[in-house]
Amino acid sequence: MSRTALRICPLCEATCGLTLTIDGTRVTGARGDRDDVFSRGFICPKGASFGAVDGDPDRLRTPLVRRDGELREATWQEAFDAVAAGIRPVVERYGPHAVGVVLGNPNVHTMAGALYPTVLIASLGTRSLFTASTVDQMPKHVSSGLLYGDANAIPVPDLDHTDHLLLLGANPLESNGSLCTAPDFPGKLKALKARGGTLTVVDPRRTRTAKLADRHLAIRPGTDALLLAAMAHVLFEEDLVDLGRLAPHVQDVPELRAAMRDFTPEAVAESCDVEAAVIRALARELAAAPTAAVYGRIGSCTVPHGTLASWLVDVLNILTGNLDRPGGALFPQAATDRTPRPAGPGHGFALGRWHSRVSRHPEAKGELPLSALAEEIDTATAEGEPVRALIAVAANPVLSAPDGDRLDKALDSLDFMVSVDPYLNETSRHADVVLPPPPPSQSPHHDFAFNTLAVRNQVRYTRPAVPLEPGRMAETEILARLTLAVTGMHGADPAAVDTLVIDQTLGKAAKDPASPVHGRDPRELAALLTGDTGTERRLDMMLRLGPYGDGFGARPEGLGLGRLLDHPHGIDLGPLRPRLPQPLKTRSGRIELLPEPIAADLPRLRRALGERADGLVLVGRRHLRSNNSWMHNVPALTGGTNRCTLHIHPEDAARLGVRDGEPVRVKGAGGEVTARAEVTDGVRTGVVSLPHGWGHDRPGIRLAHAATDPGVNVNQLLDGTLLDPLSGNAVLNGIPVEVAPVTRTEALAGAPTAGAPTAG
């Protein structure tokens, strides 16, 4: 006897609504929910494999606690006792900064990850915070922080309405989009073309997205900032700057014009490998389009000038009047956003309020670079204590961050480590305690983060599709108990964490003149909250205080949890709308077009004008049926073209004597790996490509299927020293490598090679 249940897909940023088929407690099928107000039935192969991902037999079912050197099954009580006993002495003896916190990508895909880590970090008081953001989008946060005064104010391209999209370093046909939540991104690009719009893709690889484009520019990796600066130069030079209605909200236009003077198309052409005439055409097309949006992602962020490139993306949208207008790039307004405050000067955005101990990296958004995690553990300095204990939540930095081998050793040297993770993998194998969350079918879902990045305003919530299995603990409760255990309140009622947050939030709102509950009694408000769990009550509170909320009765037709539950397929809140100047929180109250830290970094970009390394550089790639480091254990999603092979252009292969299908050695500053070559003109000359998230061959992991075709860890080629200085973001693309065929004798010696065809 099967039934169906709705579940928002947590497997990528597109947030599609799924209809799950459930037999007993097992998810046996998944299809797109045609009535979902946002995704309208769209599904991809990962979503279709929801049941297999959810029911993976290698998922841990009980906590593990290390005893006599071995991780053994334990009760939740024993596990949290061990956490308190492991972390508290480190805090008491060495202070809170000796406890590191590592937050990985899946935190943005769970309600637990959205609601609890901030409380954990604040109550622990540690500055040793490392997250996936510094191997991903930190440059965009920094550029938004500097331009708009709010690191989370990220404009999103209006995919459904734009006439012209310039897309750099993104491959949404495989990734399904990022910092731009759009179910059926491929369909939206096709619709753009069908309505007569144009798509330009800038990518050193001829990706599936590039194949869809009207124009594909195979840029040299790492040079997008130069290309974009030259486009800004042309806009000034040819008098194409037109801020339109943005004009009263923007400052520093003349200063920007002067700063762009040296970046002529002719000066950047050779570095970028894009002809000057083409760069001029790009700028003219952008200015001429009725509406247009420039959008950059991984390939524009994880490079040496990541912050400058991210800033220039917005600069071009601003100079052409496309920021904050339909068809351009707009600021979404999510249902759980804070009460919008009246427009006016804000506190601005500060960078470098503290520094990492060893390499003196500045903090950004309260975080230190993930690239520096290993050295912060394994290097003693006079500055202060190294990280001696670690709390990792949904993070696999041994594969995701530079120099996994060094981190692997560093993790082994910790006094104590706890991982909240469903798998025993390359990182969690080092933990003294592993706390496994339930599979997604047993968790509630709402997208706090991705709704602030969505191409249409909407709100959806799905309760657990399957009840918690006996012996399981909700991830929200795991994180609440973890917070209590590490802050000296071990054993207290986990509901206390929610109560604390609710009291604080309502207390603040009651004092805020802009809030619909200004002047009301916070206790009376708290009593009005609905929901079966603390998590639901917090969602109810955020919805009711939010921009569409019922204001606890002030706007009776507004949103709350009850209304959301009445609309299981979600509530549409309309297209993105102009919002400026309200989102601005800069000290000037305007868009600060040429902020001082950016101006101070431009000389570095100017120096890059003359640079052109002649060796090979490596870029990454994603595959539709994968997700970073943790989805190689699902047979339905591996094999075929989802392989850890080295893409290399036929000309480079011929020059180096590399043959298709044969093993090649790839050497970088941090180490070397051996992978099978895949000779293809899908990658331009001078560039090779390996995907990340592979290398499942370390001892002690429990990933039976992944271990049959482990692949190699591309991040071993990095030594962790290459960073974008403003954001601390790792350089993961455009890294210099040497490639050579593995000689016959070496091959006979039988080193395992990534990408070898597997049996069956």
> Please, which residue, 305 or 692, has the CB nearer to ligand SF4?
692
Q: What is the nearest approach in angstroms of Mo ion to the Cβ of residue 637? A: 18
> Please, which residue, 202 or 497, has the CB nearer to ligand MGD?
202
697 exposure class (CB count in 10 Å sphere: 0-12, 13-18, 19+): middle
CB 427 within 8 A of CB 421: yes
Which stretches does DSSP call E strand in 526-670? 571-575, 591-592, 616-619, 646-648, 663-668
> How many whole angstroms separate alpha carbon 31 and alpha carbon 571?
20
CB 709 within 8 A of CB 758: yes
> Please, which residue, 176 or 457, has the CB nearer to ligand SF4?
176
Q: What is the nearest approach in angstroms of ligand MGD to the Cβ of residue 557? A: 35
Q: Does 44 bind ligand SF4 (CB under 6 A)?
A: yes
CB 117 within 8 A of CB 101: yes
> How many whole angstroms separate alpha carbon 416 and alpha carbon 427?
13
> Please, which residue, 17 or 437, has the CB nearer to ligand SF4?
17
Q: What is the nearest approach in angstroms of Mo ion to the Cβ of residue 394? A: 12
> Please, which residue, 177 or 597, has the CB nearer to Mo ion?
177
> How many whole angstroms separate alpha carbon 571 and alpha carbon 454?
14
Q: What is the nearest approach in angstroms of ligand SF4 to the Cβ of residue 176? A: 4
732 binds, among Mo ion, ligand SF4, ligand MGD, none (CB under 5 to 8 A by kind): ligand MGD
Give which of 274, 277, 288 is closest to 197, Cα–Cα.
288
Residues interacting with Mo ion, by CB under 5 A?
A: 136
Amino acid letter, residue 145: G
Q: What is the nearest approach in angstroms of Mo ion to the Cβ of residue 722? A: 18
Q: Does 172 bind ligand SF4 (CB under 6 A)?
A: no
Tokens 């071995």 locate to 70
> Please, which residue, 136 or 252, has the CB nearer to Mo ion?
136
CA angle 125, 126, 128 (to 5 degrees): 165
**What order of strands is seen across the sheet that includes strand 17-23?**
2-8, 17-23, 26-32
DSSP 165: E
Q: What is the nearest approach in angstroms of ligand MGD to the Cβ of residue 205? A: 4
Q: Which of 20, 27, 36, 47 binds ligand SF4 (CB under 6 A)?
A: 47
Q: What is the nearest approach in angstroms of ligand SF4 to the Cβ of residue 36? A: 10
Q: What is the nearest approach in angstroms of ligand MGD to the Cβ of residue 31? A: 19
Q: Name the closest residue to ligand SF4 (Cβ).
A: 47
Give which of 65, 98, 76 is closest to 415, Cα–Cα.
98
452 binds, among ligand SF4, ligand MGD, Mo ion, none (CB under 5 to 8 A by kind): none
> Please, which residue, 178 or 425, has the CB nearer to ligand SF4?
178
Q: Does 637 bind ligand SF4 (CB under 6 A)?
A: no
> How many whole angstroms separate alpha carbon 306 and alpha carbon 722?
12
CA angle 623, 461, 187 (to 5 degrees): 40
Using the rule CB under 6 A, give the single segment among 14-22, 258-266, 677-685, 725-733 that binds ligand SF4: 14-22
Residues in contact with 419: Cβ distance below 8 Å, sequence separation at least 6, in sequence order? 392, 393, 395, 427, 428, 430, 431, 433, 434, 435
- Sign of the C-alpha dihedral computed for residues 379, 381, 383 and 388 taken in this order: positive
> Please, which residue, 25 or 743, has the CB nearer to ligand MGD?
25
Using the rule CB under 6 A, give the single segment among 122-130, 497-505, 523-531, 619-627 that binds ligand MGD: 619-627
DSSP 457: E
> Please, which residue, 310 or 396, has the CB nearer to ligand MGD?
396
CA angle 419, 425, 429 (to 5 degrees): 60
Using the rule CB under 6 A, give the single segment among 168-176, 190-198, 279-287, 483-491 that binds ligand MGD: 168-176
Q: Which of 176, 483, 586, 753 binds ligand MGD (CB under 6 A)?
A: 176
The CA distances from residue 549 to 37, 546, 566, 621, in Å, are 19, 5, 15, 41
> Please, which residue, 468 or 510, has the CB nearer to ligand MGD?
468
Each residue 123-162 as x (binds ligand MGD by CB under 6 A) or -, in order, gives: ---------x--xx--------------------------
Which residues are near ligand MGD by CB under 6 A?
12-13, 104-106, 110, 132, 135-136, 168-172, 174-176, 178, 202-205, 207, 219, 221-222, 224, 297-300, 303, 393-397, 400, 420-423, 425, 437, 475, 619-624, 626-630, 692-693, 714-715, 732-734
State the residues that interact with ligand SF4 by CB under 6 A.
9, 11-12, 14-16, 43-44, 46-47, 176, 183
